[in-house]
Structure 1
């Protein structure tokens, strides 16, 4: 139950979760942030972890305090951590898919990996090629499945890796700096939980729209005259 409560609290309020980690020290906090981002990206069983909102909240704590000018997390230490976590995670997930992907899908143990989500990920790869690896980084669930499906599909590692690295760097930098520059705005601080929910909703919209299109957008077969 402890691990379940940990994930529930993290999903509900990543700012409070990070604040509790900071009480243990900067190094453990950076370790937890690395672990969460890595697991969301690198372990196909955990696509529900809040990567976007966690990075935003981490960026908020890296901003200097308005009164003291001191930050709870040093940005120069935070950025390398959030850069490395998705890059290493993608590599891990790619090779999991490459060696064990078919067996994992056939086992049905990854409930979040529905046929619709797999189809959407494969459609992105078919349409965009390795560029889909970069684009998929910005979509929850898809960013977890993209390296996994890339490994299954036989995409060469040499084609996958540059787009994976670029996507990981852009995504982690974007959300961390959004929190760094905008997290200290009084209106954002007052409604921080709503901001986190808004980030989650906005990041999920493309995935939801894609799933709805996959489910309801298929044209009915033409009937013969």
Structure 2
């Protein structure tokens, strides 16, 4: 087996610049679809891929309008989450007995379940901006048989918030500050740092709340 070829393939999938330059909008849409509901695709780039798609559109490296890019991303995110939802509804219980592997960790499923238990349907909107949780939240929604109409509402709202804000922000900054294209590596590190901090803080908060004695909770 050619492990070097496999390693190069995964390196390509994790490099947003290569995805945009060589795969174009089609590959961006495919990755967004997979990362928004397929448990084995949690490692794919999300937030910074969308931002860079908008940025590269502003500089002409991605030859599509920002309207088409954003609408395509929103559609892919909605369909991806529906895929995760119906997978969770039909086969989600099987994940409970699945062994940990390179493409699946029970910890990720549990993390999303706790997040979902705290925020309910709103988790589907908040999770869009959190790696890993974004992938597993629709699966959890399907596993607990969340009402399809309620899921659809939050699915669409979350996809719009995520799929429009990040590409448009990248496009706007690219037009205002064209030189920003020279700092792609720093942009990626910035997004990784911000999303990681947000995820860690949320998990710590959920853990504290879960471990808090019932008698110590104040009434709302």
TM-superposed CA distance for 1:194, in Å, is 0.9
Equivalent residue number for residue 73 of structure 1: 64
Deviation of the 1:173 alpha carbon: 0.7
Q: What is the deviation of 1:45? A: 1.0
2:93 aligned residue (91, 95, 102): 102
What is residue 26 of structure 1 aligned with on the other side? Answer: none
Gaps of 5+ in 2: 214-220
Moved more, 89-98 or 29-38: 29-38
Report what 1:205 is aligned to: 197
Q: Distance in 2 between matches of 1:117 and 1:43?
A: 13
Indicate yes or no: 2:186 matched with 1:194.
yes
Q: CA deviation at 1:215?
A: 6.9
Question: How far off its partner does 1:90 sit?
Answer: 0.3
Alignment match, 1:25:
none
**Partners of 1:7 and 1:81 in 2: how far apart?**
24
Query: How many angstroms apart in 1 are the aligned matches of 2:86 and 2:62?
Result: 38
Match of 1:154? 145
Q: Is the 8 A contact 1:121 1:146 kept in 2?
A: yes
Match of 2:17 in 1: 15
Query: Which region of structure 1 is more displaced relative to structure 2, 76-85 or 142-151?
Result: 76-85
Q: What CA distance in whole angstroms lies between the structure 2 residues aligned with 1:220 and 1:126?
A: 15
Residue in 2 that maps onto 1:176:
167
1:45: which partner in 2?
40
Aligned CA distance change for structure 1 residues 167 and 161 (closer, same or farther; 3 Å): same
Question: 1: CA distance between counterparts of 2:118 and 2:204?
Answer: 19
The answer to whether residue 8 in structure 2 is matched with residue 5 in structure 1 is: yes
Q: Does 87-96 or 198-207 show the bigger shift?
A: 198-207
- Equivalent pairs counted in the alignment come to 209
The 3-state SS of whatever aligns with 2:97 is helix
Aligned-residue CA RMSD in angstroms? Answer: 2.7
Q: In 1, Cα distance between the equivalents of 2:41 and 2:142?
A: 17
Residue aligned with 2:36, SS: helix
Name the CA shift for 1:18/1:99 in 2 (closer, same or farther; >3 Å): same
Residue 54 of structure 1: how far off its partner (Å): 1.0
Partners of 1:124 and 1:170 lie apart in 2 by 19
Alpha carbons of structure 1 residues 63 and 192: separation in structure 2 relative to 1, 3 Å: same
CA contact (8 A) 1:39 1:46 kept: yes
Check 1:3–1:186 CA distance in 2 against 1; reply closer, same or farther (3 A cut).
Answer: same
**Alpha-carbon shift at residue 38 of structure 1 (Å):** 0.5
1:121 Cα deviation after fit = 2.2
Q: Which runs of 5+ in 1 are unaligned?
A: 22-28
If the length of structure 1 is used for normalisation, what is the TM-score?
0.81
Change (3 A) 1:107 1:220: same
